[in-house]
């Protein structure tokens, strides 16, 4: 089996079930990306850490573990969401960034099945591949001063039978440990809004969510970015009374900000919002939970 780069940070014990409900009260779907800096190697003998509730968190160390994450992604993105994936391996969601990323896995302990995943692209690996995934959807010029302290998180998904909150909390617990260990301060990424609302394919729901969040959760103007393929929000009905997807609401509770108007991703038939979160904006109760402050 092909060996992968040594994972870059250890794992912390995770919090109680009530935190899952507070952060992610509804079923989770797909998001594509969030961003953090150069990292210290993890101990070579690191083993998966129990996260409670019969799940464990670990980093992929071999190609077969990455393949398990890619199969889950394909099942969720193509099987459930109908995404059109240009993949070289049937039944797997594979793109050019995967070989440059580290892959965080949550497993169901009784079966060993991968039931949740994120991929992590560090600044050094982003330089090697030439960009982040987010750069393909947005002009990130205004974030240039943050790049040395940014890691991109992407392709987040959770198995359909495990969307009660515990899996995403396990992923975030491990990512918080990564940030704390390496003194990181910023994350960015693309959060997806499905283009179907009440069974109808349109961008009205995404336009309405953008209108709501642009009034309440915008980042400072110096961090605003522009989509390369904009969703035509001015030609859509933005008056719908619709809530953001559960994962976006979770990010907002953690202090995340929106960086600009949504891009349209035709392959995933979604509108993607660019989002940024800084550790200094994390509410005190979440800092204590995730970082022990």
* pLDDT > 70? residue 179: yes
Interval 261-274 mean pLDDT: 94
H helices, E strands: number in the chain: 8, 14
Radius of gyration of the chain measured on its C-alpha atoms: 18
Q: Do the beta carbons of residue 105 and residue 138 sit within 8 Å?
A: no
Structural domain tally of the chain?
Answer: 1
Q: In 217-262, where do the E strands start and end? A: 226-227, 257-258
* pLDDT > 50? residue 177: yes
Residue 31: inside a domain: yes
DSSP 261-288: SPEEETTTTEEEEEEEEEGGGS-HHHHH
Interval 170-182 mean pLDDT: 84
Question: Which tens digits make up the pLDDT trace of 5-57?
Answer: 433 333 333 333 333 444 444 444 444 544 433 455 444 344 466 666 799 99
Task: Tell me the pairing of strands 257-258 and 270-278.
Answer: antiparallel
CATH code (residue 88): 3.40.630.30
Residue 3: inside a domain: no
Cα 51–chain centre separation: 19
Residue 228: inside a domain: yes
Higher-confidence position of 230 and 181: 230
Residue 55: inside a domain: yes
Residue 10: inside a domain: no
Residue 145: inside a domain: yes
Residue 245: inside a domain: yes
Angle between the N-to-C axes of helices 166-181 and 284-291, in degrees from 0 to 180, rounded to the nearest 10: 80
DSSP 16-51: -HHHHHHH--S----EEEEEEE--PPPPTT---EEE
Q: How confident is the model at residue 289 (pLDDT cuts 50, 70, 90)?
A: confident
Residues 6+ apart with CB under 8 A from 11: 46, 48, 49, 57, 58, 173, 174, 177
Question: Which tens digits make up the pLDDT trace of 104-145?
Answer: 999 999 999 999 999 988 888 999 999 999 999 999 999 999
Distance separating alpha carbons of residues 215 and 217, to the nearest angstrom: 6
Q: Which of 9-23, 142-156, 199-213, 241-255 is predicted with the least confidence, judged by mean pLDDT?
A: 9-23
Q: Is 3 helix (H, G, I), strand (E, B) or coil?
A: strand
Residue 255: the pLDDT is: 92
Its domain, for residue 168, covers: 17-280
Q: Do the beta carbons of residue 279 and residue 185 sit within 8 Å?
A: yes
Residue 237: inside a domain: yes
- pTM above the 0.85 mark? no
**Other Cβ atoms closer than 10 A to 293:** 11
């Amino acid at each position: 089996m092909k060996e992968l780069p040594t994972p870059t940070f250890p794992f912390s014990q995770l919090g109680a079930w009530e935190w899952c409900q507070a952060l992610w009260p509804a079923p989770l779907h797909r998001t594509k990306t969030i961003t953090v800096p150069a990292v210290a190697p993890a101990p070579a003998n690191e083993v998966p850490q129990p996260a409670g509730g019969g799940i464990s968190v670990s980093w992929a160390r071999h190609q077969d573990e990455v393949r398990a994450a890619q199969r889950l992604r394909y099942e969720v993105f193509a099987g459930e969401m109908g995404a059109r994936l240009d993949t070289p391996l049937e039944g797997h969601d594979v793109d050019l960034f995967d070989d440059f990323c580290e892959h965080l896995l949550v497993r169901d302990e009784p079966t060993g099945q991968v039931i949740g995943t994120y991929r992590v692209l560090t600044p050094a690996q982003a330089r090697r591949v030439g960009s982040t995934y987010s750069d393909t959807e947005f002009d990130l010029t205004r974030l240039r001063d943050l790049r040395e302290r940014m890691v991109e998180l992407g392709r987040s998904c959770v198995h359909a039978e495990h969307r009660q909150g515990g899996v995403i909390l396990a992923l975030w617990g491990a990512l918080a440990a990564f940030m704390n260990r390496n003194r990181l301060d910023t994350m960015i990424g693309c959060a997806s809004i499905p283009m179907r609302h009440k069974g109808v394919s349109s961008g009205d729901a995404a336009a309405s969510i953008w209108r709501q969040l642009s009034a309440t959760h915008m980042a400072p103007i110096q961090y605003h970015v522009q989509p390369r393929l904009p969703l035509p929000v001015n030609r859509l009905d933005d008056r719908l009374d619709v809530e953001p997807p559960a994962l976006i609401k979770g990010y907002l509770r953690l202090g995340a900000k929106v960086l600009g108007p949504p891009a349209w991703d035709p392959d995933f038939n979604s509108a993607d919002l660019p989002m940024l979160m800084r550790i200094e904006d994390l509410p005190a109760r979440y800092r204590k939970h995730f970082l022990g402050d």
